[in-house]
Amino acid sequence: MATPQFKPKYHWTRRATQFGMLLLIVLIPIFGLFRIDFATASFFIRDLQVEWTNYPFLVGLVLVVGTAPIITYMTIGSIFCGWACPQNLFSEMANGLTHKLLGKRADVRVDGPGMVVAASKNKAVNWLVLGASFLLASAVLAYFFLMFFYTRSDMWDFVTGASSRRPSMIVMYWMTTFFIFIDIATVRYLYCDYPCLYRVGLRLFRSPDALHVSYDASRASECEKCNYCATTCITDIEPTNIRITDTCVDCGECIDACDRLHAKSGTIGLLRFKVGESENRMTWRKMLGKVFARSRWLVGVLFLLGCALMIWGAEAAAQKIADKEKRLQEDQKIQRIADVCNRQCAPLQAACSSKNMAGCYQASACVCACTLEHDPASPSADSLRQCVRNGAAHAQASGLNTPQAR
């Protein structure tokens, strides 16, 4: 009887999650969901402009950005790194392309054992294809990265040349492309170990109760002379002896590898995802209870406070924009009425002079009466009626007729 084909639990699900996160990151600037504008010192959330002087929103953003990672450190551990972080996705893809073009054990990373290239594949065309692939990917990624700082129309005009390319955009684009190229080509996972602030925080706040890869040491005899899980580890660590300070990203590749090997004998692997260490069956509710008890609710309270401040600040920004738009519409309305009334009363205004003050009063009363006719609900209606009455009184004293106030 044929052995049933093994289906990995995590590999393709993780790949779908990674590409889904990458697609989300790309769609955010494409649809204008979020943008940072240094020219106006503002965040743009859709069409909502939130200035950096909006301190409730700014403080809330700092609280959320500061506490959200700590909550993930204590609950889902480093699963964000292995399942959602674009840095890891492109590092894995770069490793795969390098192995395909330069050999199965090829290594060109700056933190690797040195330049390792298969002699049969150490050809100029392979290096050219590898470099061109990295450069093309870097150029595309740089474009979408800059869309978080420039408008969509600005970036499209920059690419198509529809408008003159600003020197600042040219410099920013090619500098970004260069740094991304260096990152993909040579840095890769080294970025996670040192510059990445998320990983630094993970090493400081990660809890043993968080989600992690667990090894069934009671079956250690089955691992003798086997190193299969370690060969599939994308961060080159020993899955059978993972320490809390290791660079494990909870990708699950080692679990799939161990399960694949044991599936041939009809047994389960020795590796699995586990939550908690002190209890055999730690539920999510118990884990969250322990996390919040240890942090005395401070982290959770600060996170919720940050969310509330961001909502408050966003509402204040929306109200400010609405008030500004209302004032603009009112000013346009006033200007439009003024243009109509000035044209209507132009003959009377032309008759106004220092020798004909009565004509001036008549012209003034005409403008006020016309304004009232077009905007009877104006906040200045009482003043406009008084203007008509005063103009009528002075004009009648000189024997002239004026429009009556309504």
The whole-number pLDDT of residue 310 equals: 96
Mean pLDDT to the nearest integer, 141-170: 87
The whole-number pLDDT of residue 14 equals: 95
**Which residues have C-beta within 8 Å of that of residue 281, sequence separation ≥ 6?**
none
Check if the beta carbon of residue 363 is closer than 8 Å to that of residue 349.
yes
Q: What is the per-residue pLDDT across 270-318, written as a single tens digit (0 to 9) for each?
A: 999 988 765 455 566 666 665 555 555 788 889 999 999 999 999 999 9
Q: What is the per-residue pLDDT across 171-203, written as a single tens digit (0 to 9) for each?
A: 999 999 999 999 999 999 888 878 888 888 888
pLDDT-based confidence at 112, cuts 50/70/90?
confident
pLDDT-based confidence at 10, cuts 50/70/90?
very high
- pLDDT at residue 1 greater than cutoff 90: no
Tokens of 124: 């100029």
- pLDDT at residue 125 greater than cutoff 90: yes
Q: What is the per-residue pLDDT across 15-33, written as a single tens digit (0 to 9) for each?
A: 999 999 999 999 999 999 9
Percent pLDDT > 90 in the chain is 43
Mean pLDDT to the nearest integer, 108-112: 79
Q: What is the per-residue pLDDT across 324-350, written as a single tens digit (0 to 9) for each?
A: 999 999 999 889 998 988 888 888 888
Q: How far apart (Å, rounded) are the C-alpha atoms in residues 233 and 254? A: 6
The whole-number pLDDT of residue 405 equals: 42
Mean pLDDT to the nearest integer, 136-165: 89
Mean pLDDT to the nearest integer, 70-81: 86
pLDDT-based confidence at 402, cuts 50/70/90?
very low
Taking phi first (over 0 means left), then psi (-120 to 50 degrees means alpha), and beta for anything else, what does residue 253 get?
alpha
Q: How far apart (Å, rounded) are the C-alpha atoms in residues 212 and 248? A: 9
Q: What is the per-residue pLDDT across 220-229, written as a single tens digit (0 to 9) for each?
A: 888 888 889 9
